[in-house]
Amino acid sequence: MTFHAIIVAGGSGSRSGGKKQWMRLGGKPVLDWSVDVFVASGAAQVVVVVPVDDVVQAQETYGERVLVVAGGSDRSASVVNGLRAVTGDDGDIVLIHDAARPLLKIHHIKGLLTALETRPAAILALPLTDSIKKGRDGVIEDAPPREHLWRAQTPQAFRLGDILRAYAAWPAGKPATDDAMIAGHIGIDVALVEGDMSLHKLTYPTDFALLEALMAGDKPMKQTRIGSGFDAHRWGDGDSVWLCGVEIAHNKTLIGHSDADAGLHALTDALLGAAGLGDIGDHFPPTDPQWRGASSDRFLRHAVDLIAERGGEIVNVDVTLICERPKIKPHREAMRVRLAGILGITLDRVSVKATTTEGMGFTGREEGLAAQAVCSILI
Ligand code: MG
């Protein structure tokens, strides 16, 4: 799915006491936070809209990663300048984002892209939690129910052709506070995707302290978590077996719905367990025909992605294979290399061990092979 990003940073910052896009937050300029996330997100094009006086300096700073264009007289004019700079098809997705919401994360972008698989447009928004009052002359006039009310955030996502049409149809000079308002004006249904507090908008000088606190709060909240997984598969007729992502020649194979790689299954369950995300069967139901014969590295990669999306990192993993045969030792290093590659961690954090049960139990009688796995993650 091709998507582009427009970051609107055209304001003069009258309420925050200066051009807030260039002020430093957590060690770098406010605008850089959004630029870095969108560049890393895989956007085809990242367009940054800045005040006309800042265009040359900004383009020099960001280089080829982004296209810098000049803003207009108000936010809407700035967005239009950004949209015109996008070179894409009408069906491409464009995410329009205010630089004043610097704590954007990749998962916010992914949430919107997922919504646009089925909806014409979507925005991030937060349901209201305070009671709402309508006041006149300092006195409550009405108390509208809050249950259907949301606070709009950004990014806001549209099809490029739709939002260009919407802006063309918007009455000249009529104020608009966001792009969803302009899309709604020509009847585009805009879905609400739940955002979060971290997308709070920098408006007043005190907001800087609030966002710094939110950023600092991210770090101590990371905790070490442990996960464990277990899996077993039955031996059947065959001439090779998949274990920890490596195919080993053997006079039997493991029977299962997928490739029956018990090592990868146990490790996937350990990671899901550490993150409190259920088990492998929840994510890849064995009743679903699309996983028949599937290569199990897909399951493990999915668990790795889910942890990364939550800002987590894998510290180490330790897998034990329990079988009489085949002998694991000659393949152990290949398994570690393969696991480290899938997990995206260094080899010293990956352990593969093997044991027999000295002829006892189902593994000892060679009815089946078992695997157990432990991992620790920081999340
Ligand atoms: Mg299994």
DSSP 92: S
Question: Mind giving me the DSSP string for 66-106?
Answer: SEEEE--SSHHHHHHHHHHH----TTSEEEEEETT-TT--H
Distance 284 CA to ligand 1 centre (A): 11
**How many other C-beta atoms lie within 10 A of the C-beta of residue 268?**
29
- Ligand 1 centroid – CA 267 distance (Å): 10
Distance 256 CA to ligand 1 centre (A): 7
Of the candidates 165, 51, 153, which has an alpha carbon nearest to the alpha carbon of residue 97? 153
Ligand 1 centroid to Cα of residue 259, in Å, is 9
Q: How far is it, in rounded angstroms, from Cα 203 to Cα 235?
A: 64
Task: At 315, list the tokens.
Answer: 């510290």
Task: Give the distance (Å) from ligand 1 centre to CA of residue 330.
Answer: 23
What is the tens place of the pLDDT at every residue in 244-291? 999 999 999 999 989 999 999 999 999 999 999 999 999 998 888 888
Q: How confident is the model at residue 184 (pLDDT cuts 50, 70, 90)?
A: very high
Please tell me the distance between residue 285's alpha carbon and the centre of ligand 1 in angstroms.
11
Cα 254 to averaged position of ligand 1 atoms, centre (Å): 10
CA of 360 to the centre of ligand 1 (A): 21
Q: Encoding tokens for residue 94?
A: 């464009």
Cβ contacts of 40 within 8 Å, gap of 6 or more:
106
Residues 12-40 have pLDDT tens digits of 655 545 678 888 888 788 999 999 999 99
CA 130 to centroid of ligand 1, rounded, Å: 47
CA of 261 to the centre of ligand 1 (A): 7
Pairing relationship of beta strands 3-8 and 93-98 according to DSSP bridges: parallel
Ligand 1 centroid – CA 264 distance (Å) = 8
Which tokens is 214 given?
């939110």
**How many Cβ atoms from other residues are within 10 Å of residue 340's Cβ?**
16
Q: Distance between CA 347 and CA 39 in Å, rounded?
A: 29
Which pLDDT tens digit goes with each residue over 32-82? 999 999 999 999 999 999 999 999 999 999 999 999 999 998 999 999 999
Q: How many helices (H) and strands (E) does the chain have?
A: 12, 18
